[in-house]
Amino acid sequence: MSIHIMKEKIAQIPVILKEKNIDLWLTFVRESDTIKDPAMDIFIDRGVTWQSAFIFAKNGEKIVIVGSLDADNIKDSGLFEDIRTYVASIKDTLKQTICELNPETIAINRSSNDVMSDGLTCGMFEILSDTLKGTGFEDKFVSSEPIISALRGRKTKNETEKIKKAVEITEEIFDMVTKNIKPGMTEKEVAEMILNYVKKRGLTTAWDSQHCPGVFATVEAAAAHASPSDRKITKGSVMHIDFGVKYEGYCSDLQRTWYFLADNETQAPLEVKKAFETVRDSIKAAFDAIKPGIEGRFIDKISRDYIIEQGYEEYPHALGHQVGKSTHDGAGLLCPEWERYGNLPYLKIEEGQIYTLEPRINLNNYGAITMEEIIKVGKDGAEFLSNPQTELILIDSA
């Protein structure tokens, strides 16, 4: 993330703290190159070694407490002016700073719902609790989930432009795949072709390159999140690819589906076409309904119910997740009311959030039909950041 964008995000923090009626947000870390709190990427572009506290107050104050040998590194970032140091122990400085600020609530990075808001380790929580023991502030901890959710979700114009560029590059790579794939190639060969292209562009994949891209060919293709295999593309089957790139710190995450025409075929079978159109139309139905203030579960239900009404089984995952600095950018989710999602189905969609829409249908005789689009939520609705796939991509190898 550029320094300019970090300054934009830091400027959002006091506004969000006031909105959420939280006095103080504290990120407490150590050895961040080894165990990095996901929140750090929002407001700092470098790590710390000793126990360190990044403190933001709703009145706009921002204070960093670091070991003396980390101070120059933080100062050089140009993001913080009030930098307090220690040598032997952080406890006295941290306790004094909290007492000065005298908050009624202290948001710390613990959450049972959102991994992006759950960066405080058990050991660091124990140190923090021991530091504030007897002050009364140890009883004022709340989860920072509402803060981090809003901060990651409300994309600035500059953040959106970087995501759009990542999407554009991903679509360019999909076009390259269409021109070069053919029956007989293995999933690994398709993935290698994509990774070589990414490398030539000087980019990285949006997630672990062992399964980005995910290439799924033939009826026997593995489930999502699996690595490409030696399975070969066959005529008369579908292939879909799950893939994204990271561009200047921001990710894309798209899926496309191809059909390989069998001998003497000029179109995909009706069964395949119907499934494709059902997925496509379920995405459009969700897109048309999404707007700020609606709980994510209701948008998921629109797509899920549409697919079920057409006679298919429901897909075994959420309709969509947020995209940003990570492909799964935290908190707000378009998902069903399943236990594994905790409170996420009930979080309200906000203006500025960027989501995927990715339902799927599994066809026993052909493979999985799926597309994944990226949208941004506006004041009154949404806009596509990707160019939606509206027709099956047909590969004729005759």
Residue-wise pLDDT tens for the chain (398 aa)?
688 999 999 999 999 999 999 999 999 999 999 999 999 999 999 999 999 999 999 999 999 999 999 999 999 999 999 999 999 999 999 999 999 999 999 999 999 989 999 999 999 999 999 999 999 999 999 999 999 999 999 999 999 999 999 999 999 999 999 999 999 999 999 999 999 999 999 999 999 988 899 999 866 654 566 788 899 999 999 999 999 999 999 999 999 999 999 998 999 999 999 999 999 999 999 999 999 999 999 999 999 999 999 999 999 999 999 999 999 987 789 999 999 999 999 999 999 999 999 999 999 888 889 999 999 999 999 999 999 999 999 999 76
Helix axes 3-20, 145-153, angle to 10 degrees: 130
Predicted pLDDT at 1 = 60
Q: Which two tokens stand for residue 259?
A: 């059909």
Predicted pLDDT at 225 = 65
Predicted pLDDT at 398 = 61
Domains assigned to the chain: 3-152 (3.40.350.10), 154-395 (3.90.230.10)
Distance, in Å, from the CA atom of 43 to the CA atom of 71, rounded to the nearest integer, reads 16
Q: Which residues 6+ apart lie within 8 Å of 265 measured at CB?
A: 236
CB 356 within 8 A of CB 320: yes
Predicted pLDDT at 158 = 95
Predicted pLDDT at 221 = 55
pLDDT in tens, 55-81: 999 999 999 999 999 999 999 999 999
Q: Which residues 6+ apart lie within 8 Å of 351 measured at CB?
A: 154, 292, 377, 378, 379
CB 70 within 8 A of CB 49: yes
What are phi and psi for residue 216, nearest 5 degrees? -130, 100
CB 90 within 8 A of CB 129: no
Please state, for a pLDDT cut of 70, what percent of the chain lies above it.
97
Predicted pLDDT at 228 = 87
Predicted pLDDT at 31 = 97
pLDDT in tens, 227-250: 888 999 999 999 999 999 999 999
Distance, in Å, from the CA atom of 193 to the CA atom of 185, rounded to the nearest integer, reads 11
Q: Which residues 6+ apart lie within 8 Å of 42 measured at CB?
A: 1, 6, 9, 148, 151, 152, 325
Predicted pLDDT at 364 = 84
CB 6 within 8 A of CB 45: yes
Can you give the three-state secondary structure of the chain, one letter per residue?
CCHHHHHHHHHHHHHHHHHHCCCEEEEEECCCCCCCCCCHHHHCCCCCCCCEEEEEECCCCEEEEEEHHHHHHHHHCCCCCEEEEECCCCHHHHHHHHHHHCCCCEEECCCCCCHHHCCCCHHHHHHHHHHHCCCCHHHCEEECHHHHHHHHHCCCHHHHHHHHHHHHHHHHHHHHHHHHCCCCCEHHHHHHHHHHHHHHCCCEECCCCCCCCEEEECCCCCCCCCCCCCCECCCCEEEEEEECEEECCEECCEEEEEEECCCCCCCCCHHHHHHHHHHHHHHHHHHHHCCCCCEHHHHHHHHHHHHHHCCCCCCCCCCEEECCCCCCCCCCEECCCCHHHCCHHHCECCCCCEEEECCEEEECCCEEEECEEEEEECCCCEEECCCCCCCCEEECCC
Residue 127's nearest CA partner among 26, 204, 39, 40 is 26
pTM over 0.95: no
Residue entry with tokens 């690819």: 241
